[in-house]
Amino acid sequence: MKRKIRQTNFCHNIYYWTKRIPKGKVATYGLIAYLAGNVYAARIVGWALHILSDEELKKIPWYRVVNKEGRISTTCLKHNKLLQKKLLEKEGIKVKIKKNNFYIDLKKYLWLPKMKDNITKRV
DNA sequence: ATCGTGACGAACG
DNA sequence: CCGTTCGCCACGA
């Protein structure tokens, strides 16, 4: 069966790791970038998730990824921050509302992958 | 190969 | 506590 997700190196790793974020936890773009093998590719992570189709997004917990401040930072009109907040709360993650933005408490919810897994997939 | 894009991040002012 | 700028770099056109 053909996979529809991007199979180019980085994107593949990004999706791989994003899928591994446990329920009830969140990761940052920078963290995913690091796990995917490039600390400086945080922007690509956002971009990579942005280009996914609805069908692909069903399989990938894109909403568990926030920026380093813990802020929901999607600019996608369809998969907007309100939707993301809703999905996160559904998993028991508290979302703080600050001004016009939504924030996650990273101290509490940040996913800390095991070093073993980490080494496995380093490029 | 070059260039614009971007859901980032850190550093400024 | 804003907004801006710059550095980062894979990807698609």
Query: Which pLDDT score is estimated for A21?
Result: 96
The answer to whether some atom of strand B lies closer than 7 Å to the beta carbon of A58 is: no
- Global pTM exceeds 0.85: yes
Q: Look at residue A2 in the predicted model and tell me its pLDDT.
A: 45
Nucleotide nearest to A40 (CA to C1'): C8
DSSP A35-91: HHT-TT-HHHHHHHHHT--HHHHHHS-GGGEE-TTSB-----STT-HHHHHHHHHHT
For chain A, which residues score pLDDT lower than 70? 1-7, 115-123
Taking only the tens place, the pLDDT of each residue in A66-94 is: 999 999 999 988 889 999 999 999 999 99
Question: What is the CA A46 to C1' B13 distance in angstroms?
Answer: 28
Predicted pLDDT at A7: 64
